[in-house]
């Protein structure tokens, strides 16, 4: 059985962070160990939450315990990490597991924000930037095999002077990241919004095996607010990369699974809302952030979508190249 360590957030209710990633990996045959960077009652989209953040001391003790019993991993994924000290500590400890298994795959999702909204403080941005692209005093990390930023996170990492406004600028940014850290095998920008296109989200990707080429898929937007999409995406992508070894195919398969999960979630949530409230949601609308009375119906249907995770087809999206 394949073994993986998930270093992500945890919520008691709902499906974000490790709750969105662990089950899909397990049902695909992964033995998943979990370190929770935060332990919250629910995700922050509700507008309020209760819970705590793991301390650097507790994190270090858990890593010590795993090393003491000689655990080895084929893969490690990391997601939301709430402060600079934790980022530094986690990256340092992951390097120890990489030394034990040089073939281990590390997938880093540098969760910092989305659509111009920062979720973490600037110290986290600086910490991620140092790890991913280095600084005057520090070379970039050689640990990262796969990285999955969204558009905003890519802009933060590269300190771009303005928002990416065209596909050509997106290509240039991805190739700049490749130039700054050539050790990264696969770069996947999970979501990019083209200002001239209000109906679709673009997912762009680049592989070390074809380092000058940037390809993309165009994905229709579902009019709702979902959380945990990136966490589900990284889990499915990690699994697909171990079975097909082709980044374009793995991304297409992942997008197919994630999109169908969102469609299932939106359909089930809308039906549940109508049953309980006695009237339907207005057409083409769904939950919005901080709208607790509605958002609770649109938690990802991670369990209901279990039949989707094993998808091995060619994908449902056209793959195009940014010229």
Q: What is the pLDDT of residue 286?
A: 56
- Which residue blocks in 111-244 are alpha helix, DSSP H? 122-133, 151-158, 167-180, 229-241
Q: Model pTM?
A: 0.96
Contact 164, 191 (CB under 8 A): no
Mean pLDDT, contiguous 10-residue spans, the chain (323 residues): 97 98 99 98 91 98 98 98 97 96 98 93 97 94 98 98 98 98 98 97 97 97 90 99 94 99 95 90 63 86 99 98 96
Q: Which two tokens stand for residue 313?
A: 């087809």
Domain span at residue 58 reads: 2-321
pLDDT at 288: 59
**Can you give the CATH number for the domain in which 29 is found?**
3.40.1190.20
- The two structure tokens encoding residue 153: 């996170």
pLDDT digits (tens, 9 = 90+) for 89-135: 999 999 999 999 999 999 999 999 999 999 999 999 999 999 999 99
Integer Cα distance of 295 and 284 in angstroms: 15
**Contact call for residues 189 and 175 (beta carbons, < 8 A):** no
Q: What are phi and psi of 36, to 5 degrees?
A: -95, 120
| Number of domains the chain is built from | 1
């Amino acid at each position: 059985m394949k073994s993986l360590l998930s270093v992500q957030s945890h919520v008691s209710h709902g499906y974000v962070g490790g709750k969105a990633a662990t089950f899909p990996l397990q049902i695909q045959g992964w033995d998943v160990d979990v370190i929770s960077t935060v332990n919250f009652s629910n995700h922050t989209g509700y507008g309020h939450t209760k819970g705590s953040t793991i301390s650097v001391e507790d994190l270090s003790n858990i890593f010590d315990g795993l090393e003491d019993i000689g655990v080895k991993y084929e893969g490690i994924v990391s997601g939301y990490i709430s402060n600079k000290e934790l980022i530094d500590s986690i990256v340092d400890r992951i390097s120890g597991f990489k030394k034990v298994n040089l073939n281990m795959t590390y997938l880093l999702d540098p969760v910092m924000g989305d659509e111009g909204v920062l979720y973490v403080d600037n110290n986290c941005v600086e910490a991620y930037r140092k790890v991913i692209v280095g600084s005057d005093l520090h070379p970039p990390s050689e640990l990262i095999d796969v990285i999955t930023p969204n558009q905003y996170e890519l802009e933060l990492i590269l300190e771009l002077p303005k928002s990416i406004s065209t596909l050509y600028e997106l290509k240039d940014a991805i190739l700049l990241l490749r130039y700054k850290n050539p050790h990264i095998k696969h770069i996947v920008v999970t979501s990019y919004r083209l200002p001239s296109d209000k109906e679709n989200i673009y997912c762009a990707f680049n592989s070390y095996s074809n380092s000058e080429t940037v390809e993309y898929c165009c994905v229709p937007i579902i009019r709702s607010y979902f959380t945990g999409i990136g966490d589900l995406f990284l889990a499915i992508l990690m699994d697909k990369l171990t079975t097909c070894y082709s980044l374009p195919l793995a991304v297409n398969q992942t997008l197919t699974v994630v999109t169908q999960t969102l469609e299932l979630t939106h359909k089930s949530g809308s039906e549940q809302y109508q049953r309980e409230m006695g009237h339907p949601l207005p057409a083409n609308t769904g939950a919005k952030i901080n709208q607790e009375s509605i958002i609770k119906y649109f938690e990802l249907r991670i369990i209901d979508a279990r039949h989707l995770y094993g998808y091995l087809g060619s994908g449902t999206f056209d793959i195009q190249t940014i010229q």
